[in-house]
């Protein structure tokens, strides 16, 4: 099969542009459609062998509904959205007969697209054929690890993987602000785990408020996960408020038991990471 002509709807966004670069590097013709391009999303889709939607979560279903009907039989519609159920429903509803459908969610940011060795892309194969097979192979050849799933399972997983992780980090940043903490001063006293945690908080808060709001709010499973986290916070803070060390230890053991043998691997992995942070500090020291 000749190289597919690929349309990226939202191709001027960071993630869309990164994927456009990947296809161009492979020699594909790439059509970029975005708010202010002369080429409209529908025109791009109508001319493409593969159309990839890379637009904000909240508008993804509407953009798909508008654009997907233009797809040619034998072409493929795919999307990169972080929440799969509404996007896949829109694709299923709007794609003409004979059009392939493949949902994709890269579990990493735009900066990783060019070197995605071992990084996960969740894949929802809805209607597959030669184009979907080509695209899957292309992603694997570029280093991605494809993890097959359903839209439902994906969204439930993301409520945990992204929902609680982001939520607790954003809340931690807000708590530091509320306390009026001097960050530089805390870093002078930092344990490696605090330094690492603050770096994760900073990484998340350095990204798009809109993307993070949408990941929290547009995925119905996230509200369930956040509710469980809030309950856990309430139970644990109750033990601190009442100075009940035994109750605190009981909750601690409950959570520790749940993690089981993963704790040992976690300890080894974080030892490795802490060593690597010392090397990072060393490098930046000589760069000053």
18: contact with its own copies by CB under 8 A: no
Identified binder of its own copies from the candidate list 8, 240, 286, 288, rule CB under 8 A = 240
DSSP string, 227-251: HHHHHHHHHHHHHHHTT-HHHHHHH
**Closer CB to its own copies, 48 or 102, in the complex:** 102
Per CB under 8 A, 146 contacts its own copies:
no
Task: Kindly tell me which residue out of 141, 206, 286, 288 binds its own copies, with binding defined by CB under 8 A.
Answer: 206
Q: If you search the block for the tokens 């994709």, which residue do you land on?
A: 104
Measured from the CB atom, the residue of 137 and 210 that comes closer to its own copies is 210
Among 3, 62, 140, 183, binds its own copies (CB under 8 A): 183
Site string for its own copies, 120-139 (x = CB under 8 A): x-x-----------------
* CB of 140 or CB of 277, closer to its own copies: 277
Q: What number of other Cβ atoms are within 10 A of residue 239's Cβ?
A: 17
Q: How far is CA 209 from CA 2, 56, 221, in A?
A: 40, 12, 20
Q: Is 264 in the site for its own copies (CB under 8 A)?
A: yes
Nearest distance from C-beta of residue 121 to its own copies, angstroms: 10
CB atoms within 10 A of CB 225: 21
Considering only CA atoms, give the Rg of the chain. Answer: 22
Q: Closest CB to its own copies among 137 and 270? A: 270
Neighbours of 157 (CB within 10 A): 18
Quick one: tokens of 78? 């795919």
């Amino acid at each position: 099969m000749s190289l597919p002509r690929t349309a990226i709807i939202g191709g001027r966004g960071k993630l869309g542009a990164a994927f456009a670069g990947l296809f161009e590097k492979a020699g594909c013709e790439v059509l970029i459609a975005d708010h202010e391009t002369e080429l409209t999303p529908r025109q791009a889709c109508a001319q493409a062998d593969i159309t990839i939607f890379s637009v904000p979560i909240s508008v993804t279903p509407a953009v798909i509904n508008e654009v997907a009907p233009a797809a040619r039989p034998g072409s493929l519609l795919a999307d990169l959205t972080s929440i799969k159920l509404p996007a896949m429903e829109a694709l299923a509803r709007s794609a003409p007969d004979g059009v392939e459908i493949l949902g994709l969610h890269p579990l990493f940011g735009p900066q990783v697209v060019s070197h995605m060795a071992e990084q996960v892309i969740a894949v929802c194969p809805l209607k597959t054929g030669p184009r979907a097979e080509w695209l899957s192979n292309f992603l694997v050849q570029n280093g991605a690890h494809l993890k097959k799933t359903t839209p439902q399972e994906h969204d439930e997983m993301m409520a945990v993987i992204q929902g609680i992780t982001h939520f607790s980090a954003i809340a931690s940043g807000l708590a530091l602000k509320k306390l009026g903490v001097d960050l530089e001063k805390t870093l002078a006293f930092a344990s490696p785990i605090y330094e690492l945690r603050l770096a994760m908080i900073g990484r998340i808060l350095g990204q798009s408020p809109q993307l993070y709001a949408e990941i929290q709010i547009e995925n119905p499973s996230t509200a369930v996960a956040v509710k469980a986290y809030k309950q856990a916070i309430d139970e644990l803070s109750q033990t601190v408020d009442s100075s009940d060390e035994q109750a605190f230890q009981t909750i601690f053991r409950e959570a520790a038991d749940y993690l089981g043998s993963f704790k040992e691997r976690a300890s080894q992995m974080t030892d490795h990471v802490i060593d690597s942070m010392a090397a990072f500090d060393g490098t930046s020291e000589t760069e000053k």
